[in-house]
Structure 1
Amino acid sequence: MKNVEELREAHVGRLMLKYFIPAFIGVFVNALYNIVDRIFIGQGVSAEALSGVSVIFPVMLIMMGFGMLIGIGTGVYVSINLGKKDVERAGQTLGTGFTLMIISSLLIMIITYALKVPILKSFGSTDETFQFANDYLDIVLGGVLFMVVGFSLNNVIRSEGNARIAMVSMILSSVTNLILDPIFIFGFDMGVKGAAYATVISMFILMIWVLYHFLKSKRSVIKLQLKNIRINREISMEILAIGMAPFSMQIAGSFVQGLLNKKLIEFGGDLAVGAIGIINSVLTLVIMAIVALNMASQPIIGFNYGAKSVDRIKQTLKITLIAATIISVLAYGLLETFPGMIIKVFNSDSEMLYQIATRGLRIVILVMPIIGFQVVASNFFQAIGKAGLSLFATLFRQVIALIPLLIILPGFYGIDGIWISFPISDSLSAIVVAFILVREWKRLPIIVAKNDENQKN
């Protein structure tokens, strides 16, 4: 129980650093899944193939959304129960979460196969890009179970204090993908199908690795036991309530991406969809660094929320906010200085794609320095059981503010109106989230005391 004791007593700054480094390495390598696919496809197949795979991005967001719904919800609830020294309840949470992972995976696969053509059309696939998108999706859908179970259980590994093992998990699967991509795409001349097969195989390896941890490894704090692999209604509701915010973020992101693809085709053509695919890949690396901070802070906040330690929760939040802001500022400086060089990593043949993506990236990142604290705030609300606030903070930027802007501004400014929508939405969201964060910071002692009272009752 060394991991549990350090969550309770270790210096918060050192603990954050200990958890952040493996989390960052893990998520950074994990982000390479889609990015590496896009680089190899953009350089080795064509700009149109890159646009076709970019159409799949909203579908991938939905798949990852279910992984986050169950994985983050399970992880947070495991942390809270370990903070209360209730290992049995933590084990029941793991078993219920695993059952939900299997059920949701099968539902995603069946529904998406049944509605595949209208889904691709609604997300911006055209006659020129449909076959690329369809080939990739057909194969990836076969690996939905591997993705959901692998990513979800890896989050629980991190939540029980085994951040280094969670890092190794992501490195293992991502390096597999990195090795297989050029072999299948170039060596076997399989094009986008090769990229999809590489992704599915790497997901399968991830799933096997994390299952071994909870079934056989002596390092696991809790075990995946047969008696707990069932649906516990009360625990299921807790998991879904906690995970609803990141899930809603992913689903909202998926539909926004679909709308975005359609607007880009209308005002910029297929290559504009390829451009947003590149921009999303670049921004993913930045957001993933901040997500790594959240991953590092989540078990500390969740554990100490359960243990009623307000001071340690506040210390953790302060450190996370400062670090997220630093990352956002540094990323803005790098992207603003070298946008063209970054774009050419993905495709160096199409001058039109280069021009569209470079201008789009410069505009989209205009207020990047204020994005970091918003991502941290949403995670903080989630970790202290404020699922509704976390959901609102997340959806405000991606739905309430962004969608109307995407609908209205392109009519006045063309494709630039699409790009401008992002910094305006980020600015409006920053104001709202900052107000809520300050309020909840002041009320934290009351929130923790109320949670303890509810648990006793």
Structure 2
Amino acid sequence: MIVGNLLGSIANGAVSASLPFVYLLQAAAFLLAAGGSVGAAVSLGRKDAASAGKIMGFCILAGIAYPLILAVLSPALVPAYVGFTGAEGVQGEMIHDYSQVYALGMPVISFVLIMSYFMNIDNHPSWSAGMNITANAVNLAMDYLLVKYTSLGMKGAALSTVLGYLAAGCIFIPMYFRSSKRMITPAFKGLRDSRKPIAMSVKRGLPTLSFLLMTVIGMSIINKSVLSSLGAGYYSAYAVTNNTQAIVTMLLNGITSVIASVAGVLYGEKDYFGMRAVLSKVLKISLTTGAVITAIFLAVPQLFAAMYGFRDPELLPELLRGIRIFSLSFGFFILNSVAQNYYRTIGQTFLSVSVTALELLILKVPFMLAGLRLFGFTGLYAGIIFSELATFLLINLLRIILQKAGKVPQKGFPAIPERGDGEIMDMTVTGSDADAVDVSARMMQYCRSEKIDERESVILALAAEELISNIGLHGYTDPEHKEIDICLSRDGDSLFLRLRDDGIPFDPTAYSSDEHDSSDLNGLALLKKMNVRMSYMRVINLNHTIIEIQCKKEQING
């Protein structure tokens, strides 16, 4: 916004045209940050701080090495990229200046981005948020100062971003490494010994990387087409909606992505009723928000043109029509965003990836190019509407086909059973020995009411007692603040024991009995010999332990 108002709309277009190159520079950072932070959190939950440290060390090394290599090659890469865009004259020079400075500063940005993700999972989410806020605040301030009061121009705009991340990193990263609550220490030796957790961490980041790459490909094709067919003036107008779309996407994705964290836990716990409630709530909030944003776009499109300094009197009427048409796609975008996040959460990866591929590349690019060819500038935005609508229709058609083939549960859009059967036992305790015994007794009572096999009931109750003791002893640094939620329920032929606590990252099922500093209960060891599946995850700063026991029908039905 500042660049467009101070240097003109052509500069705003240059920033937009540079984004595919910038995203490629950031690719390793987002791959390693997204995947590595999850891998480190899992390792912490298993009390394997050494592996978490090696994952962090690898991510830091690789995250800096990749942009360093590109920075060295940037004198050749940047001119090649400018040539690819088709931009010429002043706009070509602006793209070159912006991309070149960004390439040289990317090692700093990459390091800070990676540290932000790791701080978030290592007991410092507020510092992670603070670092991002500080980076953006400094960026905005330096943008104004460098662009307005120096002759750096586009170089100053890119430099302000680098300085923003540098300033934020210098403030928060030393604080993090001095913090007594920090659990991860980056290790740079012996990385070969931790190849498996490192490889799994990289694998976890692949969805983020694929999203980024599809964005780069789609954006590059559209940018090049608009520049070559309509020229720099129209491209500057298109950049206004392109940049506005990024802000709207960030806002709406912030709402719809709640599903990935909250509903993900509920899915692991087989709480289908809760999942449907979350899905319904997210849809209502996001669609209402989208309707309000659409109304604003329809009523005052000139506001968004002014935000980015677009004042061309000849092209402004077309831009305002384009903004209004573009806003009509928000509702379909929300539905697709919910579908993408939701299906990824419930393990329907094919459907989730299909939404991303259709929405960002397979449908969006052909529809926008067709709209551009048939109707000119405003046809671009009609193409966005039809691509979002077609994505939603095709994904639901694909889901129905998969449901009829038996590959996806036969329960409509949510693709889950209506709800689990059976009653539940639900309580909250503080982790004391007395609480653990009380939970054991309550569980025995529940199992008798559900006609569960007596031997399995005893083992499960003893295991629960041991798990609660483990969490109480080792899962909290503050002995005065302990809160553990326990839920036991039945779903078909399975029993589910769910434990949730707000302590430090700690997996109570991975705590060896020979490390226990009180008399062993042996319930957990016996439980592991049964037909059981245990899982642990740390989501929204809560530990979630889920134990699923497969029982024979005659044991459940008595």
SS at match of 1:150: helix
Alpha-carbon distance, 1:396 to partner: 1.4
- For residues 281-332 of structure 1, give each alpha carbon's deviation from its aligned partner in whole angstroms, at most 9, with x where no partner exists: 2122221123334665555566677xx4232982655544443333322221
Q: Distance in 1 between matches of 2:183 and 2:357?
A: 34
Equivalent residue, structure 1, for 2:35: 73
Q: Distance in 1 between matches of 2:207 and 2:376?
A: 32
Alpha-carbon distance, 1:254 to partner: 1.6
CA contact (8 A) 1:267 1:415 kept: no
1:117-266 map, 5 Å: 117-160=79-122, 162-209=124-171, 211-212=173-174, 214-227=176-189, 232-266=194-228
Correspondence for 1:442 among 413, 416, 424: 416
Correspondence for 1:330 among 286, 292, 300: 292
Equivalent residue, structure 2, for 1:426: 388
**Distance 1:284-1:227 versus aligned 2 partners, 3 A rule:** same
- List runs of 5+ in structure 1 lacking aligned partners: 1-38
Q: Distance in 1 between matches of 2:282 and 2:190?
A: 34
Equivalent residue, structure 1, for 2:6: 44
| 381-390 or 408-417, larger mean C-alpha shift | 381-390
**Distance 1:375-1:61 versus aligned 2 partners, 3 A rule:** farther
**Distance 1:433-1:160 versus aligned 2 partners, 3 A rule:** farther
The answer to whether the aligner puts 1:309 opposite 2:266 as a matched pair is: no
Q: Distance in 2 between matches of 1:108 and 1:96?
A: 18
CA contact (8 A) 2:39 2:198 kept: no
TM-score norm. by structure 2 comes to 0.65
- For residues 114-173 of structure 1, give each alpha carbon's deviation from its aligned partner in whole angstroms, at most 9, with x where no partner exists: 322221222242234111111111111111112222223323333456432222111111
**Distance 1:179-1:381 versus aligned 2 partners, 3 A rule:** same
Equivalent residue, structure 2, for 1:341: 303
Q: Distance in 2 between matches of 1:54 and 1:145?
A: 21
| 231-240 or 241-250, larger mean C-alpha shift | 231-240
- For residues 20-44 of structure 1, give each alpha carbon's deviation from its aligned partner in whole angstroms, at most 9, with x where no partner exists: xxxxxxxxxxxxxxxxxxx222222
Amino acid aligned to 2:416: K
- For residues 207-229 of structure 1, give each alpha carbon's deviation from its aligned partner in whole angstroms, at most 9, with x where no partner exists: 44554355322343534344576
Q: Distance in 2 between matches of 1:300 and 1:161?
A: 19
Q: Distance in 2 between matches of 1:170 and 1:374?
A: 27
Amino acid aligned to 2:152: M
Q: Distance in 2 between matches of 1:75 and 1:451?
A: 28
Q: Distance in 2 between matches of 1:220 and 1:296?
A: 26
Amino acid aligned to 1:418: L
Q: Distance in 2 between matches of 1:387 and 1:239?
A: 17
| 139-148 or 245-254, larger mean C-alpha shift | 245-254
**Distance 1:213-1:140 versus aligned 2 partners, 3 A rule:** same
CA contact (8 A) 1:245 1:390 kept: no
The structure where strand makes up a greater share of residues is 2
| 101-110 or 76-85, larger mean C-alpha shift | 76-85
Q: Distance in 1 between matches of 2:193 and 2:282?
A: 35
Equivalent residue, structure 2, for 1:292: 254
Q: Distance in 1 between matches of 2:65 and 2:343?
A: 27
Give the greater-gyration-radius structure (CA). 2
Please give the root-mean-square deviation of Cα atoms over the aligned residues, in Å.
3.5
CA contact (8 A) 2:54 2:188 kept: no
Amino acid aligned to 1:58: P
Amino acid aligned to 1:345: M
Q: Distance in 2 between matches of 1:238 and 1:389?
A: 22
**Distance 1:309-1:157 versus aligned 2 partners, 3 A rule:** farther
Equivalent residue, structure 1, for 2:327: 365
SS at match of 1:143: helix
Equivalent residue, structure 2, for 1:29: none
The structure where helix makes up a greater share of residues is 1
CA contact (8 A) 2:136 2:164 kept: yes
The answer to whether the aligner puts 1:54 opposite 2:28 as a matched pair is: no
Q: Distance in 1 between matches of 2:344 and 2:60?
A: 20
Amino acid aligned to 1:194: G
SS at match of 1:310: coil
**Distance 1:439-1:241 versus aligned 2 partners, 3 A rule:** farther
| 272-281 or 226-235, larger mean C-alpha shift | 226-235
Alpha-carbon distance, 1:75 to partner: 3.0
**Distance 1:128-1:233 versus aligned 2 partners, 3 A rule:** same
CA contact (8 A) 1:47 1:347 kept: yes
Amino acid aligned to 2:285: A
Equivalent residue, structure 1, for 2:453: none
Question: How many residues are treated as equivalent by the alignment?
Answer: 415
**Distance 1:361-1:243 versus aligned 2 partners, 3 A rule:** farther
The answer to whether the aligner puts 1:350 opposite 2:312 as a matched pair is: yes
Equivalent residue, structure 1, for 2:372: 410
| 192-201 or 155-164, larger mean C-alpha shift | 155-164
Q: Distance in 1 between matches of 2:15 and 2:329?
A: 28
Amino acid aligned to 1:399: L
CA contact (8 A) 2:87 2:227 kept: no
Q: Distance in 2 between matches of 1:267 and 1:71?
A: 38
Equivalent residue, structure 2, for 1:279: 241
Alpha-carbon distance, 1:88 to partner: 5.1
CA contact (8 A) 1:150 1:210 kept: no
CA contact (8 A) 1:99 1:229 kept: no
Amino acid aligned to 1:347: G
Alpha-carbon distance, 1:78 to partner: 3.9
Q: Distance in 2 between matches of 1:439 and 1:349?
A: 45
Q: Distance in 1 between matches of 2:532 and 2:387?
A: 33
CA contact (8 A) 2:120 2:128 kept: yes
Higher relative contact order (Cα pairs below 8 Å, separated by 6+ residues): 1
CA contact (8 A) 1:76 1:298 kept: no
TM-score norm. by structure 1 comes to 0.78
Q: Distance in 2 between matches of 1:383 and 1:217?
A: 33
CA contact (8 A) 2:259 2:345 kept: no
